Amino acid sequence: MERSEISRHEVTLYRALLASPERWFTNQELSEQTKLPGRTVRLHTHRFVELGMLDLAEVFPAHKYRWSSKSGKRNAAYLQRLQQADGVFG
pLDDT of residue 90: 84
Residue 12's CB: how many other CB atoms inside 10 A? 20
Q: At residue 65, what are phi and psi to the nearest 5 degrees?
A: -135, 150
Tens digit of each residue's pLDDT (9 = 90 or more) over 15-57: 999 999 999 999 999 999 999 999 999 999 999 999 999 999 9
Residue 25: DSSP 8-state: B
Question: What percentage of the chain carries pLDDT values higher than 90?
Answer: 93
Please state, in angstroms and rounded to a whole number, the distance separating the CA atoms of residues 71 and 49.
Answer: 10
User: Which domains, and CATH codes, for the chain?
Assistant: 8-81 (1.10.10.10)
